[in-house]
Chains A and B, each alone.
Chain A
């Protein structure tokens, strides 16, 4: 599924990822944990193709396809989805319009038929219900005046509708109270599937109580410095990241 080898990424003249290697098999959920500034968000953005995140060496392949040479929208059509740590507000574009445009653009890029308005509305109504979101909210400008929790739910709603092959969740738990965290985690767990992989990026272990990963990777100093089972998250919670400070 996702195979990252010796990835080096530079942002504004500074090298942030310094030879990151990570293997994420199909159907698995892996967590990437690490101290602030380790390069967690840089990894997410580099995989999604954010302008300004320059890959200087190494590779990232999804199902054998080189992601780095693709534009962000091409990566999305291949099945890459990034749940943003700070989702962007787009005034004047209702969430419904945005998501339908996105879904049909991806389907078109894959040579699939576009979804009709009634089909789309039926599907999104059901998913919004599962996430306990007010449907009326979807008629407003995307993420405009949404609370932190509402924005994260909107990210998960988009993930459900776009049904990606690879979901990258960047600090999805930040800004969530315990009830919102449970709803979001339930949404993510419902998306676990044999043909889908997930990379859950988080600073804290608390999200991993709800989304149990198959493996945990520790990212420090721009590299994966340790990999282990779910129990590694608890160990990190107790011991902190200090032991990895020298890895940089």
Chain B
């Protein structure tokens, strides 16, 4: 069952449905009445700007679906910008990206989802395997069309000693999920798995992660923050599984969200499933409004309410941005988030 299968076969029964617990809050079968025709192939990317243009010249542009591979040799260090562009109106398409990082290698993967038309159906499947002691910094910014239906599913397999750092930022779509599934072998491997969502209008954005700790002495550190306003709906589902034998796992998950209007909604399900001994696991979850005391304090100093709200919202989201290791990536993400925050106010 997947959106990609539904696009391939045209069979609506392949769409993820709320009857499946994992899709309870993000129902695609109830929304999509028919699979639109495959989007036309379009290879003209001349002049198309992306959010990461200043950070690398190595780039791959997927236009209305494509397949590509990135292989980083052992001990090599590369930065790739991958843009998934949807330029078709009412079309459907599939992106497939495979990547491997050799032992000791390093990849900075900068993914952008760009909807140049409001409506399309897009499935993206990503598989990344990481060799021993390799590093992956994955930054994802999703700027899909407001009527778009989009699911991105990433599977990342770590080897011992590997280090994954991920930050996903989204503004949602008509319905959208950005999912990440991490196989964590332990053995000193480390995962930082962060997310931000800013959902306005009638959009729906879903960040779902699954981390499976299979071996001892692995670390996972996860912070997701979100904002929903208007009739927007944000979803966070985070699951950390600590399998038998994954002893001395250290896993922390935190989700915090702001609901900024009466009709906005946030649904969150942080889950820890622990079947090992001597583990340090924790999770926290809070959903609330902006601090009224802080709003009055700012107003007393002369800051108008809309400016104060944007300032406090940016500050709330900033913690996640600060966790991005490299300054260039951090600035690119901050720019994207600031632009979205201005629109919320």
Contacts and interface: CB of A to CB of B under 8 A. Distances in A.
A91 B299 CA distance: 17
A91 B315 contact: yes
Interface string A72-88: 11011100111010011
7 contacts: A76-B302, A81-B300, A87-B297, A88-B294, A92-B318, A101-B311, A106-B301
Contact of A109 (B292, B300, B302): B302
Contact of B296 (A72, A97, A101): A72
A106 B302 contact: yes
B256 to A, nearest CB: 12
Contacts of B316: 92
A75 B292 CA distance: 18
Contacts of B292: 51
Contact of A88 (B293, B304, B315): B293
Contacts of B305: 71, 73
Interchain residue pairs A-B with the least CB separation, the first 3 = A92-B315, A76-B302, A102-B301
Interface of B: 291-294, 296-305, 307, 311-312, 314-316, 318-319
B64 to A, nearest CB: 39
A76 B296 contact: no
Main DSSP-derived SS at the B contact region: helix
B57 to A, nearest CB: 33
Contacts of B312: 90, 93
A135 interface: no
Contacts of B297: 84, 87-88, 90
A72 B315 contact: no
Interface of A: 48-51, 71-73, 75-77, 80-82, 84, 87-88, 90-93, 97-99, 101-103, 105-106, 109, 141, 158, 162
Contacts of A141: 315
B301 A98 contact: yes
B296 A158 contact: no
A75 B304 CA distance: 11
B13 to A, nearest CB: 46
A101 B303 contact: yes
B86 to A, nearest CB: 34
Contacts of A87: 297
Nearest to B293: A88
A81 B305 CA distance: 17
Nearest to B301: A102
A24 B315 CA distance: 39
Contacts of A82: 300
A39 to B, nearest CB: 19
A150 B274 CA distance: 45
B309 to A, nearest CB: 12
A28 to B, nearest CB: 22
A51 B318 contact: no
Given A51-B292, A105-B307, A158 B319 contact: no
A153 B314 CA distance: 26
B304 A73 contact: yes
A65 to B, nearest CB: 15
Contact of B301 (A49, A76, A97): A76
Given A88-B294, A92-B315, A92-B318, A101 B299 contact: no
A93 B301 contact: no
Contacts of A72: 296, 299-300
Given A92-B318, A92-B319, A93-B315, A48 B300 contact: yes
B307 A101 contact: yes
Nearest to B304: A73
Given A72-B299, A105-B303, 16 more contacts: A49-B299, A50-B296, A51-B296, A73-B302, A73-B305, A81-B300, A82-B300, A90-B315, A92-B315, A92-B316, A93-B311, A93-B312, A98-B301, A101-B307, A102-B301, A105-B307
A223 B154 CA distance: 67
Contact of B299 (A73, A81, A162): A73
Given A93-B311, A93-B315, A71 B293 contact: no
Contacts of B315: 90-93, 141
